Amino acid sequence: MRRLLRGIAASVALALPLAIAPGEALAEDPPKQEALPRRQANFAWDKPEPGSKAPTLLRASFSFRDVIDRPMADKLASGLPTVIAMRAYVLREGEADPVALAVRTCRVVFDLWDEVYRLKISGPGGERDTAALNLEGVLRQCVEARDLPVADRSLLAKGKPHFLGVIVEVNPVSPQMVEQMRRWVSRPAGSTGIGPGDALFGSFVGLFVRQLGTADRTLRFRTQSVTP
């Protein structure tokens, strides 16, 4: 019996290195930024201010219309309020922490009496109330970013590529997050720099990889790089 037990122990000892050897098997590979779905954006610099040699404010235009699928479009027409929240983080290639954040929120309520969509849009410059006659008008105003101020040049490392990591949520579970986003957009255009005490923030992993779905629909993607 002792001889049998010694044989079993020896077999287990030999098998353990084989089980662990791809030692990589026990450690998670770090998530790659380039693994995010890619989406094209148009980047442009504001014209230089008088007396300045270079423009200072980077703007971006991109679409996230596909966050509104057919069931979500039907929900928009039901008369129930829907919130579309977009966060665009500015990250340097290969670095985990964002350097800036641009946000937009859009609250949509279909007015069953007047048969129009009532919109409250929060973005750079504050809040505004408007209306859309049809779904196309809602999509154009709520799920497209046009000339969105994303970062002042002083926030970007010269000669290093940066990109936008974008999170779009329809009806986020956390009303506190939406309120924080509304306060964030009260800053002047271009004041998007992230400080150590700011809310809503985290590393690339926390924001784009390990967050669980907490909304009716969620999109996460990155843009191509831009180098100042």
Task: Examine residue 21 and state whether it is found in any structural domain, yes or no.
Answer: no
- pLDDT at position 52 is 63
Helix or strand holding residue 3 (H, E): helix 2-20
Task: Examine residue 2 and state whether it is found in any structural domain, yes or no.
Answer: no
Q: What is the C-alpha separation between 77 and 73, in angstroms, rounded?
A: 7
- pLDDT at position 49 is 62
Stretch 16-43: mean pLDDT: 61
Domain count of the fold of the chain: 1
- pLDDT at position 211 is 59
- pLDDT at position 118 is 97
Stretch 129-157: mean pLDDT: 95
Question: Which of the four pLDDT bands, split at 50, 70 and 90, describes residue 213?
Answer: low
| Cα separation values, 106 from 46, 71, 118, 171, Å | 25, 18, 10, 10
55 and 156 Cβ atoms separated by less than 8 Å: no
Question: Which of the four pLDDT bands, split at 50, 70 and 90, describes residue 4?
Answer: very low
Please check the confidence at residue 207 and state whether its pLDDT lies above 90: no
- pLDDT at position 23 is 37
Stretch 54-77: mean pLDDT: 92
> By three-state DSSP, how is residue 16 classified?
helix
Supply the range of the domain harboring residue 77: 31-222
Among the ranges given (145-154, 189-198, 208-217), the one the predictor scored with the smallest mean pLDDT: 189-198
Question: Which of the four pLDDT bands, split at 50, 70 and 90, describes residue 131?
Answer: very high
Cβ of 163: how many Cβ atoms within 10 Å?
Answer: 22
Please check the confidence at residue 9 and state whether its pLDDT lies above 90: no
Task: Examine residue 5 and state whether it is found in any structural domain, yes or no.
Answer: no
Q: What is the dihedral of CA 52, 56, 57, 59, to 10 degrees?
A: 90
Please say whether the dihedral angle defined by the alpha carbons of residues 180, 182, 188 and 192, taken in this order, is positive or negative. Answer: positive
Q: Measuring CA to CA, which residue among 23, 65, 57 is closest to residue 166? A: 65
Q: Counting beta carbons within 10 angstroms of the beta carbon of residue 55, is it exposed (0 to 12), middle (13 to 18) or buried (19 or more)?
A: middle
Among the ranges given (3-17, 94-108, 211-225), the one the predictor scored with the smallest mean pLDDT: 3-17
